[in-house]
Amino acid sequence: MDRVKRLVSENRILIFSKSSCCLSYVVHVLLQDLGANPFVCEIDKEPECREMEKALVKLGCSSCVPAVFIGGKLMGSTNEIMSLHLSGSLMPLLNPSSYQMPN
């Protein structure tokens, strides 16, 4: 849990992913195309993979990947990110002046 929380607090835009997850790739490409530079943590390459999955579920992730955090806040998985994008609500969230990182 500590590693997950640390990554969330240290990265403005963070995607928890798995290297074989096509939905994680789609979210990553979307955010890059929108001008964001997300940090991607491929949890299947982490020694604490199982613990990280459990921590993400405890933080409210319905599925452990992709899990997108913006400004320290869990935004959700693919469906939530696509919904935000289609409604025009994602771009303002990607603007660093629209939020503050938690302490």
103 located within any domain:
no
For a pLDDT cut of 90, what percent of the chain falls above it? 83
Amino acid 97: pLDDT: 62
Residue 11: domain span = 2-97
Neighbouring CB atoms inside 10 A of 59's CB total 16
Q: How many domains does the chain have?
A: 1
Amino acid 63: pLDDT: 77
- Burial class from Cβ neighbours inside 10 Å (0-12, 13-18, 19+) for residue 67 reads buried
> Which positions of the chain have pLDDT values less than 50?
99, 103
9 located within any domain:
yes
